[in-house]
Structure 1
Amino acid sequence: MPVATKKLRSNRAWLERHLTDRWVKLSQKEGYRARSAYKLIQINEKEHIFRPGLTVVDLGAAPGSWSQVARKLLTGRDGKLSGRIVAMDILPMDPIDGVAFLQGDFREQSVCDELARIVGDDRVDVVMSDMAPNLSGIAASDAARSMLLCELALDFALEHLKKNGFFITKAFQGSGYSQFVEAVKRSFVKVHALKPEASRDSSPEQYIVARGLK
């Protein structure tokens, strides 16, 4: 079978699955920008991470569904945002009321300087990352690129989190996964790995939730 035909069938199958996905339909109904919003909602239901008054940094935030969830969870009973949310991505992102957006690579000093300007001298309560590389289809290469993003997110969290802060990141099971989890355990008091209901059964993704810097 020609490569182009295989790719066309694969794209068509993905589109059909996407359009019939319950979480896609629910996200469209409830105004979230991506189905991934429900992964964070379900993580929070189990781990009780968010509450009004926190400072949250969302790495690789675009299109913004996790920031939308954080915005809702940091809203007090008076309907007003209590806390700060900073979304960061190299890609552009449409504005979200109450969310500061920094476009650029979070490893760059200029981006970190802007973060410091927003949050002041304070460390942050939550660092979260739903980042994933653009997949090439080459398993070893994709696994290595995914682990690099996880390691960069961990380094950022270790530099910016408060002592009792939370770190949330997506990681793909495969080469390097167990070593990354061990690295997180060396740095945090409590570490859980979970797979939210909204995560597709076919996906090897896991979400690592860590709390309390050692």
Structure 2
Amino acid sequence: MAITWSVTTQFRTLTVRYFSRSSALGKASKGQSSNWWINRQLNDPYVKQAQEEGWRCRSAFKLIEINKRFELIKPGSVVIDCGASPGSWSQVAAKLSKSDTREGTVIGIDLQQIVPIEGVVTLAGHDFTTSTTQQRIINILNDRLADVILSDMAPSASGTAALDHDRICQLSVAVLKFSSAILTKGGHVLCKIWDGAERDKVTSIMKRMFRSVKIVKPDACRSESAEIYLLGMDFFLDRHT
């Protein structure tokens, strides 16, 4: 599978192509130990802290840490949260984008259901990668541009690490493609991927769109996980496609 789009810059038209390897990868059986998962949750300090502080899940602390380091979300920010369910990142974004004098806009999108969140427009049961959902986001923004686009999206696990890695990279590229049309100059994108062979392809695309690209692994990521975050800061392309 190849994803191609063009972005008009001040000097030239940038054509971006991303070639997926997933069609060549087979499916594998998936398995998981429920007892292991339960024990891990019971012994995870971030799970307990999230419950105490009212966050919907432990992933809230990943965004809190990243935002503390890089100041992505500020009062008044327009934030799009892709893969929002159960809603912890949207909760954090809503809190960070609101102050006594300014109130931001947060849109949370997910294929799964999202219990309503105060200060967040939720699009539950929506596939972010479809043109229909993306047009709904554009309509909600009503001619505004996004300051920050977050993606904690992940594909359903296949049991094959290479296939799952390729699929999550495809999701990141879909986010970047949408960002090229809807992100304000100077805006930021944060995408989760699982580390692997395709990482350099995604970071290469980001480097053609952002003045700074960083690989971030917050402390709240589990040590055994291949999960990392690609952060593109200071979007510099014109939004016209």
Query: Could you tell me how far apart the structure 2 residues matched to 1:142 and 1:33 are?
Result: 25
The answer on 1:45 being equivalent to 2:72 is no
Query: Could you tell me how far apart the structure 1 residues matched to 2:123 and 2:37 are?
Result: 31
Local SS of the residue matching 1:180: helix
- The 8 Å contact of residues 165 and 193 in structure 2, kept in 1 or not, is answered as no
Residues 9/131 of structure 1: CA separation in 2 closer, same or farther (3 Å cut): closer
5 Å-filtered alignment, 1:11-22, equals 11-22=34-45
Local SS of the residue matching 1:193: strand
Counterpart for residue 219 of structure 2: 197
**Cα drift, residue 135 of structure 1:** 1.2
Query: Could you tell me how far apart the structure 2 residues matched to 1:122 and 1:75 are?
Result: 17
Query: Could you tell me how far apart the structure 2 residues matched to 1:8 and 1:151 are?
Result: 28
Deviations 1:128-176 (A, max 9, x none): 0011112121122111111111111111222210011010111111120
The answer on 1:88 being equivalent to 2:109 is yes
Counterpart for residue 163 of structure 1: 185
> RMSD in angstroms over aligned alpha carbons?
1.7
Query: What TM-score results when the alignment is normalised by the length of structure 2?
Result: 0.81
Q: Greater CA deviation, 181-190 or 196-205?
A: 181-190
Residue identity matched to 1:86: I
Query: Could you tell me how far apart the structure 2 residues matched to 1:143 and 1:135 are?
Result: 10
Aligned counterpart in structure 1 of residue 91 of structure 2, from 53, 61, 68? 68
Aligned counterpart in structure 1 of residue 167 of structure 2, from 116, 128, 145? 145
Counterpart for residue 31 of structure 1: 54
Query: Could you tell me how far apart the structure 2 residues matched to 1:50 and 1:191 are?
Result: 17
Higher helix share: 1
Residue correspondences, number: 206
Deviations 1:58-113 (A, max 9, x none): 011111000000111112146xx711011111211000011001231223333233
Query: Could you tell me how far apart the structure 1 residues matched to 2:113 and 2:40 are?
Result: 27
**Cα drift, residue 205 of structure 1:** 1.1
Local SS of the residue matching 1:165: strand
Residues 185/97 of structure 1: CA separation in 2 closer, same or farther (3 Å cut): same
Deviations 1:13-56 (A, max 9, x none): 12101111000000011111110000000000110111111110
Local SS of the residue matching 2:164: helix
Structure 2: gaps (5+ residues): 1-29, 237-241
Aligned counterpart in structure 2 of residue 120 of structure 1, from 121, 142, 158? 142
Query: Could you tell me how far apart the structure 2 residues matched to 1:145 and 1:102 are?
Result: 22
Query: Could you tell me how far apart the structure 1 residues matched to 2:32 and 2:94 are?
Result: 38
Residues 175/86 of structure 1: CA separation in 2 closer, same or farther (3 Å cut): same
Query: Could you tell me how far apart the structure 2 residues matched to 1:114 and 1:156 are?
Result: 13
Query: What TM-score results when the alignment is normalised by the length of structure 1?
Result: 0.90
